[in-house]
Amino acid sequence: MQLRPLGKTELLVSPLGFGAFKIGRNEKVKYPQPYDLPDDTAVERLLNGVLDAGINLIDTAPAYGISEERIGKFLSQRRGEFVLSTKVGERFTNGES
């Protein structure tokens, strides 16, 4: 996948990104149907597949539950291959945002 510059930074990112919400949080969300979080094996396979497909922009946030933890755990060996983006401003307290 062709990478593009991110603004005026020296970072190069894929035009598609991976949103990590559903690997980290499934409680008190605004989805009509409940869902289970994938197990660790599935998360590792998914994240490695995302990078292998050329997607190097991974989006997370504190309100995404344990997604940041899981990204760090499963992609620590590939840290130079992705750009991690996050957001601020939403409060996440006792499992609620």
1 is a domain residue? no
11 is a domain residue? no
- pLDDT above 80: residue 95: no
pLDDT, tens digit, for every residue of 39-74?
999 999 999 999 999 999 999 998 898 999 999 999
- Counted domains in the chain: 1
| Mean of per-residue pLDDT scores for the chain | 91
* Partners of 93 in the β-ladder: 96
92 is a domain residue? no
13 is a domain residue? no
CA distance 50 to 1: 11
- DSSP string spanning 56-82? -EEE--GGGTTHHHHHHHHHGGGGGG-
62 is a domain residue? yes
Structural domain containing residue 81: 18-85
The residue-averaged pLDDT of 5-16 equals 97
CA distance 76 to 34: 30
- pLDDT above 80: residue 78: yes
pLDDT of residue 97: 62
